[in-house]
Amino acid sequence: MPELPEVEVVRRGLEQWVAGRTVASVQVHHPRAIRRHLEGADSFVQALTGRTLTAAHRRGKYLWLPVAEPGGAPTGRALVAHLGMSGQLLVEKPSAPDETHLRARFTFTDRGRELRFVDQRTFGGLAVEELGAGDSVPPRLAHIAIDPLDEAFDVDAFSAALRRRRTEVKRALLDQTLIGGVGNIYADEALWRARLHGARPTDKLTRAQVADLLEGVRDVLGEALAQGGTSFDSLYVDVNGQSGYFSRFLAVYGQLDRPCPRCGTPIRRESFMNRSSYSCPVCQPRPRASSASARRP
Cite the active site residues: 2-3, 61, 275
Is 101 annotated in a binding site? The answer is yes
Is 29 annotated in a binding site? The answer is no
Is 21 annotated in a binding site? The answer is no
- 3-state per-residue secondary structure call for the chain: CCCHHHHHHHHHHHHHHCCCEEEEEEEECCHHHHCCCCCCHHHHHHHHCCCEECCCEEECCEEEEEEECCCCCEEEEEEEEECCCCEEEEEECCCCCCCCCEEEEEEECCCCCEEEEEECCCCCEEEEEECCCCCCCCHHHCCCCCCCCCCCCCHHHHHHHHHHCCCEHHHHHCCCCCCCCCCHHHHHHHHHHHCCCCCCEHHHCCHHHHHHHHHHHHHHHHHHHHCCCCCCCCCCECCCCCECCHHHHCCCCCCCCCECCCCCCECEEEEECCEEEEECCCCCCCCCCCCHHHHCC
Binding-site residues for DNA sit at 101, 121, 165
Binding-site residues sit at 101, 121, 165
